[in-house]
Amino acid sequence: MAIIAVFNQKGGVGKTTTALNLLAAIAQRGQRPLAVDLDPQGHLSQVFGARPRRAEETLCGFFLQQAALDDIAQVTRSGVVLCPAHLDLAKLDVQIGKSLNAVTRLRTGLRAPGAVPGPVVIDCCALLNVLSLNAIFACDLMLVPVSCDYLALASAREVERALDALTPVFRRRLPRRYVLTRYDARRRMSEDVIAQMAGCFAPEEICATRVRENVKLAESPAELLDVFRHAPGSKGAQDYTALYDELRPLLEAP
């Protein structure tokens, strides 16, 4: 089992799009991945068609009432198992704080014997709070989408600093990859961001795959579909297949 957390400290960079389509790419290969929606806005949950009536039927139940992940998980039409979000997750910092026990609850739940048989993808909110810290402590790989703009790159650098600051706690460098999203070769800013990324991050931690700006990719969430179900022949489907193939050796490493 491999656990990927998708995180950047800026909204609109493609976190949910990346989480959604990585999950779909995994499901396309015959596996049943688990989606963990740690964004109180719940956009990933909405795309998968999850509309829980009560907060306790979501990850709020896991964090606040010690519900097992199995108790709140549901199988979606995409073949993905989802632990859905709820707006009340926004209150979690006040309710449980940021102690070591609080920020490792998800890690403990995911790594319990027999709890999760397949790969896990965590969609994070854009804040460095108890939710994103739970994702950081739980994951095997941090995937940071960087859209082709300077603010997204600046936020990715903040993520890098935050992860480096946690190295003494982990006693190792947490594996991470930076993936360029909304790439358009016709825009000068895209090439500028690529050049600056090369100066900010280790070359081996920058994904070779670039997720191109694509209408089908952008419109698929509005149809409550991943890009593979919405437009399987699109550039978006091609790019997320390539991204999954690039990450797969890391996810399958013992």
Domains along the chain with CATH numbers: 3-252 (3.40.50.300)
Instruction: In whole angstroms, give the CA distance from residue 74 to residue 77.
Output: 10
Model confidence pLDDT, tens digit, residues 37-80: 999 999 999 999 887 879 999 999 999 998 999 999 998 887 89
Residue 115: predicted pLDDT: 73
Mean pLDDT value across residues 19-27: 95
% of the chain beyond a pLDDT of 70: 99
Instruction: In whole angstroms, give the CA distance from residue 199 to residue 52.
Output: 44
Would you say residue 203 has pLDDT above 90? yes
Residue 253: predicted pLDDT: 62
Residue 254: predicted pLDDT: 57
Instruction: In whole angstroms, give the CA distance from residue 19 to residue 14.
Output: 8
Would you say residue 123 has pLDDT above 80? yes
Residue 47: predicted pLDDT: 95
More confident residue, 78 or 6: 6
Would you say residue 163 has pLDDT above 70? yes
Mean pLDDT value across residues 229-245: 96
Instruction: In whole angstroms, give the CA distance from residue 184 to residue 203.
Output: 21
Instruction: In whole angstroms, give the CA distance from residue 142 to residue 140.
Output: 7
CA angle 242, 246, 248 (to 5 degrees): 115
Residue 51: predicted pLDDT: 79
Using an 8 Å Cβ cutoff, are 78 and 121 in contact?
A: no
**pTM, whole model, 2 decimals?**
0.95
* Ramachandran bin of 209, using left for φ above 0, alpha for ψ from -120 to 50, beta for the remaining angles: beta
User: What is the DSSP-derived secondary structure letter of residue 175?
Assistant: P
Using an 8 Å Cβ cutoff, are 38 and 59 in contact?
A: yes
More confident residue, 117 or 212: 212
Structure-token pair, residue 243: 């991204």
